Structure 1
Amino acid sequence: MTLKYAALALSIATLAAHAGTANTQQDRLDKLNGKALGRVIYRGATLIDGTPSAPRANMAVIVKDDRIEAVIPSSQLSPQLTAGARMVDVSGQYVLPGLIDSHVHYATNPDRPYAEAELKRSIYGGVTGVRDMAGDARELAGLSRDALLNRIPSPDIFYASLVAGPSFFKDPRTVVAALGAQPGAVPWLYAVDDQTSLPLAVAQARGTGATGMKIYANLPGTLVRKLIAESKAQHFPVWTHMQVYPATPYDSLGATAVSHACMIARHVRETGKAAYGHGGEPSYEGLTAEDPGIKEYIAALARSGTIMDATLSVYKNDGPHCHLALAGDITRAMHAAGVRIIAGTDTDNTGEDPYPAVDGELEKLVRYAGFTPQQAIIAATANAAQALGKQTEFGTLEVGKYANMLFLQRDPLQDIANIRAVVMTVKRGHEFARSDYKFTPLPVHDD
């Protein structure tokens, strides 16, 4: 062999070796990213797709790797479509989009073992996404990455970076969530005032890996409105309490979503409240959603397009606080006015319950706010994805979206309690069979 041809042969061999290495690396990356799962056909279930459409019986959902490739009647499956695919018989079951709990807190006081236990309970209970509403972003980033790469059994985690007035950062929760640093001076717990560069504040929030900015407490209305405008200019979801104090609920209109339905009741009964705090609540005796002040706000909320995170789970029917019955009445009126409602809990479930807390929120939306089961499911799927700015990726069962699905043994449209009849959760094409989940009471967690 001449030197010329020897060199050519060596080059070809080197390229082939590099190609083999590159393919191997790509295969590994595909597996890490939840791809390279092949084609799977879930055949025979009744489809509840996350929209107001009527359920469709005996449907087939075809999944390629981590995405939905087709949704067709099972009768249309052909040898060409089924060739090489793994077939899963789900006859007699009901399939709907994976649920999203739109208000959780897993790292206010970081406790990794507890968070992992909560997340595991959620994924095996049909929850494929959670919106964490502010905590230690260092902890949340690690949990989010491990969930995305399926290193832990968990829904996908979308978290907030919080901004508030400087006076708020004396709150002990902020000290715990910024341990090793100064609360108010870190990007995920950032103090803002009239001298703050708001483009920088939003950019810092985005840099933490957060999905959205949360505007929380002790800010004037002018600054709340400017923060909302800047977040929207940077195409970054912005979430607030309905009332930030001393800003009014009207200053939060235009945010992507606002939280806590009963805050409007407090505003009506306590118009002069100037700073965040739960103590000293006024009497809500005799108050209903028909109050002129509440009706005026609901009309403005509907016009704004802002989504409502009702959090009925935080309200009870005893004590001096806003009662669950009133919160439900207000949520019912908001929904009737055309406001999109999302299902957020803002509370841990008991350690002894083997199912996620969002199930209880859906039941409360039906019982206290007059939702149909289908409307409650939409609150925890399509509407929740909208609040995250992820509506093109999941929230409904459509071609091209992630294969995030919940399979149930019983019909949730007949009884929302059937949301607990879980057979299997699928997140980005990865299956979590309920039969594989061995529930043990969750460890004690101190907030």
Structure 2
Amino acid sequence: MERTDAAGKSAWCGAILALIVAWGAPARAAEYLELTDLRLIDGTGAGERRVARLIARDGVIVAIDAQGAVPVPEADARWTRIGLDGAWVTPGLIETHAHVARFPDTRNEAQRLLQQAARGGVTGVRDLGGDARALADIARSLQAREWIGPHLSYSAMFGGPALFESGPTAALAPGHAPGAAPWSRKIEAGTDLSEAVAQAQGSGADNIKVYGDLSPAQARGLIEQARRRGLRSTAHATVFPTRPSELVEAGIGTLSHSPYLVWEAVDTVPADFKMRTQGPWKRVPPDHPRLLALYRRMAERGVFLDSTLYVYRSMKRYSAQIRADWADEAFAWGAKATAIARREGVRVTAGTDWFEPDYGETLPHTHDELALLVEFSGFTPMQALLAGTRDGAAALGLQDATGTVEVGKSADLMVLDADPLADIRNTRKLRMTVRGGQVLLPQVPQR
């Protein structure tokens, strides 16, 4: 049966383009990477094991000791062997909450941040609010192997009229009226949600972000339209006036910002999304019965929690305008809520909402998010590492490609000079990153 829908046409066009490119391109010699003498923490939850050799062919792991088959290289193949002398190898980190494509100089700055991230151990990034024109071009250039960067997922953002009255959201789409771009869309009473999500998909986004100032019916409609089109969905944990449980029942994939879960326990959620900075953190305990029921339902439905502890912990340091105690209250409450949610079976991911390094630093703050999960949310180092690798990949829909070190998956690795299971801060002792079989050395900090 001939497919005539938009998704079918897109698939046919992509297949034809791939054939044309493959037909016209010269054959490329196979590239092998062999790592020897390593301590492997594979990201499946299994403990560390000693591995004599790990081999990747054209960026895909083909053998880990007796697992898989040691290949016989082609005559013209390029083979690189690196002895690690007992270094620790883990999956690369997955940053699940970033903003890399923002005006001005959007395209170049986004590429710089992503290259820096890859050299800093991050091999997957989800952008949750950026200029899709720049992100689409970056995704194309990554697929064409023009440069080495992380796996990239990016989102179209939806919100009510009040959301687009602020400067930051307008800056997501220079040249468009606020809320008028396909990837930064204002939703009003008469908006055709099917058309809005179709246009978002046309921008290349593989995820929708439900932000604020949306009714339960509007949020539910957007999430359903995304599901029908094969897109993933993310939302602020409260969308105002839509509460967390309404998002969970609507089929959301990820809830972001654990402090905003607090609104589940109030009788009436305010309609104004600006109220997110005025949460009732002092009077609502994170183990409130309504919240316990929410965590359990999130676990049942496979909803991820993108807790973003780092941004609350550091907010005062980054913004001279923020002097109130709300960020500290939000952090303390959110850290406890994250601990309880994990205990109830919710899969937590390592999103920061501010992953780019500080001036003079080179490692993304994704490393800091892992440390906060251990120090303030009671995660073991293994649990934090799984949040930053396996579970992050699953949240992005990349679980079959990356997130664990297994035969058949992309060779996306961190090579560390110290044991992260002894101290999660040892993820910062990065010797090298491997992204798709390509070795990247860390940047030298500028002082």
Partner of 1:366, secondary structure, is helix
2:430 is the alignment partner of 1:439: no
Alignment-derived partner of residue 102 in structure 1: 96
After superposition, residues 123-134 of structure 1 pair within 5 angstroms as 123-134=118-129
Give the deviation of 1:424 after TM superposition: 1.1
Q: Which has the larger radius of gyration?
A: 1
Percent identical among aligned pairs is 32
**How far, CA to CA, are the matches of 2:211 and 2:269 in structure 1?**
18
Comparing 410-419 and 52-61, the one that deviates more: 52-61
Q: Secondary structure at the match of 2:85?
A: coil
For residue 437 of structure 2, what is the amino acid of its counterpart?
Answer: G
User: In the alignment, which of 363, 383, 391 is matched to residue 391 of structure 2?
Assistant: 383
C-alpha distance in 2 between matches for 1:350 and 1:270: 40
C-alpha distance in structure 2 between counterparts of 1:94 and 1:145, whole Å = 33
Q: Is the 8 A contact 1:131 1:159 kept in 2?
A: yes
Distance 1:125 1:137 in 2: 24
* 1:251 aligned partner: 246
Q: Would you say the 8 A contact 1:407–1:424 is kept in 2? A: yes
TM-score (norm 1): 0.85
Does the 8 Å CA contact 1:211/1:388 hold for their aligned counterparts? Answer: no
Equivalent-residue separation in structure 2 for 1:22 and 1:250 (angstroms): 47
**8 Å contact 2:62–2:69 — kept in the other structure?**
no
Distance in structure 1 (CA, Å) of the matches to 2:71 and 2:147? 36
Q: Does the Cα contact within 8 Å between 1:242 and 1:264 map onto a contact in 2?
A: yes
**In structure 1, what is the equivalent of residue 154 of structure 2?**
159
Deviation at 1:366, TM superposition (A): 0.7
Equivalent in the alignment of 2:57: 64
- Which stretch shifts more, 200-209 or 420-429? 200-209
Corresponding residue of 1:196: 191
Q: Helix, strand or coil: the match of 1:146?
A: helix
Amino acid of the residue matched to residue 100 of structure 2? Y
Q: Which residue of 1 aligns with 2:429?
A: 421
Could you report, residue by residue, the CA deviation over 1:43-87 in whole angstroms, capped at 9, with x for unpaired residues? Answer: 21111111111221124221111211122259x997958996432
Of residues 370, 374, 377 in structure 1, which corresponds to 2:382? 374
- Residue number among 46, 54, 59 corresponding to 2:47 in the alignment: 54
- TM superposition shift of 1:323: 3.7
After superposition, the Cα gap between the structure-2 partners of 1:55 and 1:391, relative to the gap in structure 1 and judged at 3 Å, is same
Output the amino acid matched with 2:197. Answer: V
| CA distance in 2: counterparts of 1:166 and 1:77, whole angstroms | 57
CA contact (8 A) 2:158 2:209 kept: yes
RMSD of equivalent CA atoms: 2.7
| 2:338 aligned to which of 331, 355, 360 | 331
Distance apart, 1:296 and its partner CA: 2.5
Kept after mapping to 2: 8 A contact 1:37/1:429: no
1:220 and 2:220 are equivalent in the alignment: no
The counterpart of 2:287, out of the listed 285, 290, 301, is 290
1:314 aligns with 2:315: no
TM-score, scaled to structure 2? 0.85
SS at match of 1:27: coil
1:360 to partner: Cα distance: 0.3
Q: Which moved more, 1:410-419 or 1:243-252?
A: 243-252
Decide which of 352, 355, 370 is 1:345's aligned counterpart: 352
Of 410, 415, 418, 1:407 maps to 415
List aligned pairs for 1:118-197, cutoff 5 A: 118-197=113-192
Separation in 2, partners of 1:82, 1:414 = 41
Shift in Å, 1:37? 4.6
Q: Judge conservation of contact 2:33–2:57 (CA < 8 Å) in 1.
A: yes
Task: Give the aligned residue type for 1:261.
Answer: S
Distance in 1, matches of 2:353 and 2:388, equals 14
Over 3 Å counting, the alpha-carbon distance change for 1:77 and 1:230 in structure 2 is closer
Number of residue pairs aligned between Structure 1 and Structure 2? 412
Mapped contact 1:332–1:369 kept (Cα < 8 A): yes
State the shift of 1:334 in Å. Answer: 0.4
**Deviation at 1:264?**
1.5
Aligned-partner SS, 1:262? helix
The answer to whether 1:38 aligns with 2:35 is no
- Using the TM superposition, give the Cα deviation of residue 440 of structure 1 relative to its aligned residue in structure 2, in angstroms: 2.8
Contact 2:30–2:74 under 8 Å retained in 1: no
Q: Give, in whole Å, the separation in 2 of the partners of 1:272 and 1:211.
A: 29
Query: Is residue 110–residue 177 contact of structure 1 (8 Å, CA) maintained in 2?
Result: no
Q: Which moved more, 1:353-362 or 1:106-115?
A: 106-115
Which structure 2 segments of 5+ residues have no match? 1-19, 315-323
Other-structure match for 1:395: 403
Residue 84 of structure 2 corresponds to residue 90 of structure 1: yes
| 8 Å contact from structure 1 (residues 48, 95) kept in 2 | yes
Structure 1: state its 5+ residue gaps: 1-20, 31-35, 442-447
